[in-house]
Every structure is written in C-alpha cells, then in structure tokens.
Structure 1
Amino acid sequence: MPPEWHPQDWLWIGFPHDAGEWPTAFARAQEEIAAFANAVAESGQAVRLLVRDAANDARARSLVSAAVTLERREYGDIWLRDTGPLIVSDGAGGRGARRFGFNGWGGKYRMAGDETIGAALARDAGMEPVVADWILEGGAIDTDGTGLVVTTEQCLLNPNRNPQLSRGDIEDRLNRDLGFERVLWLGDGLLNDHTDGHVDNLARFVAPGRLALPVPTGADDPNRAIYEDARDRARAFGLDIADVPSPGLISDGDFVEPASYMNFCITTHLVVVPTFGSVHDGDGVAAVAALFPDRATVGLPGGAVLSGGGGFHCASQQMPTP
C-alpha cells in the first residue's frame, strides 16, 4: 500500500446527504466539504465528489466549481476513508483494490450503502476488489510506504471488531492483505472519537520513518496523556517525530470534540488541514505546512464536519497513480 503522498490520479470525497447526522450543522457541513473539494480540484488534481440523489446533486452543484466532478452513488456515511477501497501496488506498475469487512465502526453506526460503496468504486475504476476475511477501516491505519504501518490498540484490538483475532493474527493479516511487515502499536486514540481511536486523528506519517504527533496546548488539553503515550511508543520504536500543536480543548456544550489537525488530507499538489476556530489554528496549519515543502498547504474550517463524526481525511479516499 503506497503512502498518501504518492502521486494520485484522483480523490474521492463524500458529500453530506443525511441531515440527521448533522442536526445543527448540516448546511455548514456541506459547505465545508464543498470548500475542501474545490481546493483540491483547483490545485490541479481530479476530484470525484459523491452525491446521493437529485437534491444532493443540486446542492453540491450550487457549491462546487466546474473543476469538481460529481458522481451519483448509493452510499451511506461520507467517511470514504473507511468504506472506500484501499488501493495497493502489485510491484510491477499495476494496482489492485482491497476491501475488508465493515460493521459500522463496531456496530454503532449503520447506513445503507456503507458495505457496498467500496466495491462499486473499485469496479468502476477497473479493479475487481479482493475481499479480506476480517474487519478493518482505512482510517485505522497509516503507512510510510516502507512496509511500516501505525495503528492503535483501542481500535484494532477492540472486541467490537475482530474478537476472534489476536494481536499476532492481525499483524499477519496486515502483512498478507496490505504488505505491512512492521506494526507500530499506539495505545488509545482521541477522547470521544466515534471510531474507537482511529490513528488518522492522532498520528500521521509524513515521510519514511517520520511520524507527526500532536503536542498538547493549554492546561485543559483533554488528550495530553494520550499524546504523551503515543510519543513514548513512537520514540521507543525508533521513529523520527515531528511536532504539530493540538487545537486544545474544543467543545460543544459539555461534549469534548475529538478535534485534531492530524486529520489533514495529503493530495498530489495540496495538503488540506481542518481548523476549528481555535487560537492555535494558525500554528497548527503552519506546522503541517513545514512538513510538506513540496506542496501548498491550506487550512479550511472543519468544525461542522467534525460535529458529524469525522474530518477531511475521513471523508476522502485517494486513487494512487500506478
């Protein structure tokens, strides 16, 4: 499986279609996803924005530029990082698609289309997906392209995913299905992450052997201990660590949101970082930009999207160039 910074033919993005997922921020979530799609398309990369029905299509067309391609699809949640196909290289200039079992993030969230959209996208791209015999979401893993993958124990060892598999079994399957020869196990993901601690909200590879991790900001940063534990484990693994400030405490009433600049999306020409109206937004975007000197970096509001359970990285899936 190539790293996300490998050149991409296009980026799939899911467009919000169910107001029930964003009861107080549906229109704003659509606008934030449209701005994300526009930024990537206008950077020179093809974007395929999935829309569910005629009304969804019309709303998206009112928000996106002509550079964005709309595709009518039967999908549930917009989190294509988890429901879309994972693309691998065959080592000979070709590519293949992998699909895994999906159970609504441990049985918590089920929507029609979530279990079928990955295969449909792969087949329309000319690839018959190979379906694995275990449950895995794409946001639960991140790779540096050398055969190394990072994940969290909270997610991949959660009994609501693969209770029949041991840690060793999962490592064997990561190798067999995606070519990962080494696994860095972090502990927990962010507080209140609906996905049971997906790693793409906590730790991201930015180069071979180099892992970006958040630095807590403010005495009330709700994830301080989680960041420190992840840093200790990454150091013990021998990785080079890049610091990215946390947005700090972001809350909706009494609910602490799992806000993170780490949910950035790497595309061929552009890196898109979610922002949350935090005083640390500027520093967070600048820190990510410094990690990708070969690309432009932009911060875009992502608070409304987050209120539905994810971010820009979660809502997208790339098609790597062969």
Structure 2
Amino acid sequence: MPSETDAQERAWMAFPPERSSLGNTAEDTHEARVSWAEVAHAVSGFEPVTMVVDPADLTAAGKYLSADIELVTAPLDDAWMRDIGPTFVKDDADGLLGGVDWVFNGWGQQDWASWGKDAGIGAAVVRHSGAELVDSPLVNEGGGIQVDGLGTVLVTETVQLDPYRNPGLSKADVEAELASTIGATQVIWLPRGLTRDNKEFGTRGHVDIVAAIPSPGVLLVHSQRDDAHPDFQVTREIISLLAGTRDAQGRSWEIVEVPAPEVLRDAHDWVDYSYINHLVVNGGVIACSFGDRADEGARQILEQAYPGRQVVTVDARPIFARGGGIHCITQQQPAADAPKPGRAREGFSRP
C-alpha cells in the first residue's frame, strides 16, 4: 500500500443516502449532504472526485454537487467510503494497481448499522477503477490502518482483533494477512482508539483518528491536553507506546503531537474531535476545522508536516457528530505507474 502522500489519480466518496445512520430526519440528511459536498468540492480543487450515489438519490445529489464531481450509481447503506471502499495497492514489480476488498460487516456487526449493500461497494470500486481485485477474508476497514508506504502499518487491537469482526484470529493471523494484502512488514499494535469512538456510532477504535504518517519516520499523534477529558490518559499511553516502537526500516519515530481542540464535549458526550483525520491530496491537505481556537495551530502543524502542500480546512463538526471525519468519508486511489491494458471500467451504473 503506497503512502497517502504518493501521487493520486482520484478520490472516492459516497453520497449520504436518504435513510442511514447519518440522520433520521430531513434536516439531518441535509446537514450531512452539505458537509460531504463541502469536502468533495475542496478535494476537487486538487484532483478528480468520483462520488458513488444510491440510484434513489441521484436527483438530490445533483442539487448538492457541482458538475466537476463524477457520479456513479450503486445501492448504499451509508456513506463512509474509507471503510466500505477498497484499499488500493500497487505491484512492486510493475506499479500496476490493485484493490483489496476487505470484508465489511458494519464495524463489527453494530446494532445501529446496516451493511448488506455497503459490503459490495469495495469490489465495485475496484472494478470501476480498472485495478486488479484482491479478495481478503479479513474483516477490516480503511480507517483501521495507517501506512508509511514502506511496510509499516498502524492498527488497533480493538478493531482487527474485535470478536465481532474476526473471532478467533490472533495477532499473527492478522499480521500474515496484512503482509499478503498490503505488503506490511512491520505491524504496530495500539491497544485502543479514542473514547467517543468506542461508544455508539463509533468504530471501536480506528487508528486514523489517532495517528498519521506524513513522511517516513514521522508520526502525527492526537494529543488531548486537558486532564478532564478521558482521552488525556488514552493519548498519553498511546504516545508512550509509540515512542518505544520502530518503523519497518528500524527507525525510531519523530513524534509530533497535535493538540486536540479545546472543546471537550458536545450535546451528547466527550468529543473525539481530531486534526489527525485529514486527507492528503495532490498538492494539498483537506483538514478538519472545528470553529476552535486550536484550529490555526493545527493548520500550522500540518503545513510543516506536509511542506509544499496547501492546507484547506472544512468544518468537520457535522461529520464527527455522525461518527467520523474527513479521512473517514474519502478514499484515495493512487496513480498507477502504467495503465493496465485490456481492463474495461465496470462495476457501477452511470447516471
């Protein structure tokens, strides 16, 4: 799996369906669609965006999205493309594109989730992209892994070893599958994710809200500085653990702590607002903002971590209220080193 900083052909997203976990009312659906569209338009300023739309929502999608966004149709349960979509990989020998189709089961068969339709999106995206399909029996989501493109992958015990995802699998079993699918040679296990992410509408601990790898040997890590928040202790433990690990090349990490926003709670619970959950695109970074005094400091950290890229922020509070962030609703497709001959683009109906 290449680094997210490698050249990309496009970004994939999914349009929020009329009925989903994203909201039960017309107002909720509208708010979600506005936020997803803002992210799509921010990304399209740097690279093409393809949006998967449920056929029933095609007319609605046209009201929220500009003509710059390519629309393809397929039945959807939800709109978290990072998790329902494939993980793209490249062949070491010839640079040709592959797509790993993980098993998706609603973030561990959660009682609020539906996934019968979403379980087919990964393979459909791979077919449409022209990539080679790589089937995996592992229940996994794209938000559950972070890589450096050189063999290092970060995961969490509460996701890949979740008994509702992969009952009976050991760390060795998971590591073997990650080696054969995404080329992982060094798997770093975090014990858990953030507090809110382990509650209703959470993922039980996705790593892409906790840590990111902007360049080889460097880690951006979420840091809660207020000891009133339960993530204060969680992030202290994670940072301490990571400081004792090495990447696939045997290097100790340069750890850059990214302070959490100052807000601690929303109307429901402790927030897991995180600047880590950003998307790297060609020449840019699409980052979360929260209307918080910490936003500008986080922007500066990202600008330093990704030199030469323009950092564009989008208000991510409506996305986080639904259980994720900007990285969670997008999936990058890396540019292949050479075109794959004889592969027809298929997998979706075109509007």
Indicate the larger mover: 96-105 or 61-70. 61-70
Per-residue deviation, 1:119? 0.5
Q: 1:220 aligns with which of 218, 228, 233?
A: 228
Q: 1:122 aligns with which of 85, 106, 126?
A: 126
Is the CA contact (8 Å cut-off) linking 2:50 and 2:72 kept in structure 1?
Answer: yes
- Whether 1:173 and 2:177 are equivalent positions in the alignment is yes
Is the CA contact (8 Å cut-off) linking 1:220 and 1:248 kept in structure 2?
Answer: no
Aligned pairs for 1:1-322 (under 5 A) are: 1-20=1-20, 21-23=22-24, 25-43=28-46, 45-54=47-56, 56-91=57-92, 92-108=94-110, 109-193=113-197, 194-237=202-245, 238-322=252-336
Distance 1:19 1:277, change over 3 A: farther
Distance 2:159 2:115 in 1: 20
Render the CA deviation track for 1:251-300: whole Å, top value 9, x for unaligned.
Answer: 33242232211110111122111122222222222222221112100111
After superposing on structure 2, the runs of 4+ consecutive aligned residues of structure 1 that deviate more than 3 Å are none
Indicate the larger mover: 140-149 or 222-231. 222-231
Structure 1: stretches of 5+ with no match in the other structure: none
Alignment length, in residue pairs? Answer: 320
Counterpart residue identity of residue 98, structure 2: G
Root-mean-square deviation (Å): 1.6
Is the CA contact (8 Å cut-off) linking 1:222 and 1:249 kept in structure 2?
Answer: no
Per-residue deviation, 1:190? 0.8
Per-residue deviation, 1:9? 0.3
Structure 2: stretches of 5+ with no match in the other structure: 246-251, 337-351
Per-residue deviation, 1:30? 1.0
Residue 252 of structure 1: SS of its match in structure 2?
A: coil
- Identity level (%): 32
Is the CA contact (8 Å cut-off) linking 1:25 and 1:304 kept in structure 2?
Answer: no
Is the CA contact (8 Å cut-off) linking 2:79 and 2:329 kept in structure 1?
Answer: yes
Per-residue deviation, 1:137? 0.9
Render the CA deviation track for 1:134-155: whole Å, top value 9, x for unaligned.
Answer: 2111110000011000111121
Per-residue deviation, 1:158? 1.8
What is aligned with 2:348? none
Per-residue deviation, 1:22? 2.0
Is the CA contact (8 Å cut-off) linking 2:229 and 2:270 kept in structure 1?
Answer: no
Distance 2:148 2:70 in 1: 29
Q: TM-score, normalised by structure 2?
A: 0.87
Counterpart residue identity of residue 300, structure 1: V
Distance 1:49 1:67 in 2: 11
Distance 1:294 1:81 in 2: 25
Residue 256 of structure 1: SS of its match in structure 2?
A: coil
Per-residue deviation, 1:250? 4.1
Is the CA contact (8 Å cut-off) linking 2:148 and 2:213 kept in structure 1?
Answer: yes
